[in-house]
Chain A
Amino acid sequence: EVKLLESGGGLVQPGGSMRLSCAASGFTFTDFYMNWIRQPAGKAPEWLGFIRNKANGYTTEYNPSVKGRFTISRDNTQNMLYLQMNTLRAEDTATYYCARSKSDWYFDFWGPGTMVTVSS
């Protein structure tokens, strides 16, 4: 059974940093691109970026809206995906999801999400 489980969310002050994690199981992790997507309450999701699979050298692609502040990485020995978020702003408040994709296209499975609140 495919499983993705995000963790690490919570309350952080503006200007602070946070690292989110996503534990993957039930599939061959290195075969898949792994994405981060966020969704403010009551709004549409926003794709943040992905890290490619083994065949494509684990390179990354980012949404310009977060490029330079957010960094996506993966530990393929532990089947873990990470999102390092720096210089956080109130508008980064959202539920953050990890999701897998077979290539640079649609996401076929999402985790349940973790909430991040940026507030003083």
Chain B
Amino acid sequence: DIQMTQSPASLSASLGETVSIECLASEDIYNNLAWYQQKPGKSPQLLIYYASSLQDGVPSRFSGSGSGTQYSLKINSLESEDAATYFCLQDSEYPFTFGSGTKLEIK
């Protein structure tokens, strides 16, 4: 299985700041990476697919980048509604696997 190492595990930032979350794959996943946002008690919502494509309806302050084994999610101009846990998903190879998650707190 492809292992997805996500960092940091938690993050605290202020309104208006920019943050980045990283995912490192155990092998090349050829940009087959998605990012999800999950709020407490809710199901995950798709933010980014194919490493950098923004899902319809997702604010443009979210962006994804990376290639090979290293990928990142950047959130610009943090808003209070961005407080959530974020997961990466590799869909390059079965079984699809998720990162361990990053809990983002807004100060």
Q: How far is the CA of A110 from the CA of B44 in the complex (A)?
A: 7
Complex interface: chain B residues within 8 A of A97 (CB)? 43
- Determine the main DSSP class of A at the interface with B: loop
CB–CB B43/A65 < 8 A: no
| Given known A-B contacts A106-B46, A112-B42, A44 and B87 have beta carbons under 8 A apart | yes
CB–CB A47/B43 < 8 A: no
Q: Does A111 contact B (CB under 8 A)?
A: yes
CB–CB A47/B96 < 8 A: yes
CB–CB B43/A111 < 8 A: yes
Q: How large is the interface on A (under 10, 10 to 19, 20 to 34, 35 or more residues)?
A: 20 to 34
**A17 → B minimal CB distance (Å):** 23
CB–CB B49/A47 < 8 A: no
CB–CB A104/B91 < 8 A: yes
Complex interface: chain A residues within 8 A of B101 (CB)? 43-44
**How does the 8 Å CB contact mask read for A71-112 relative to B, with 1 for contact and 0 for none?**
000000000000000000000000001010000111111111
Complex interface: chain B residues within 8 A of A107 (CB)? 34, 44, 46, 89
CB–CB B98/A47 < 8 A: yes
Which residue on B lies nearest to A97, using beta carbons? Answer: B43
Q: Does B32 contact A (CB under 8 A)?
A: yes
Complex interface: chain B residues within 8 A of A111 (CB)? 43
CB–CB A47/B95 < 8 A: yes
Q: Which A residues, 27 to 70, have Cβ-Cβ distances below 8 Å to chain B? A: 43-47, 61-65
**B60 → A minimal CB distance (Å):** 18
Residues of A within 8 A of B (CB): 43-47, 61-65, 97, 99, 104-113
Q: Could you give 12 example pairs across A and B, Cβ below 8 Å? A: A43-B100, A44-B87, A44-B98, A44-B99, A45-B87, A45-B89, A63-B94, A64-B95, A97-B43, A105-B32, A106-B49, A109-B46
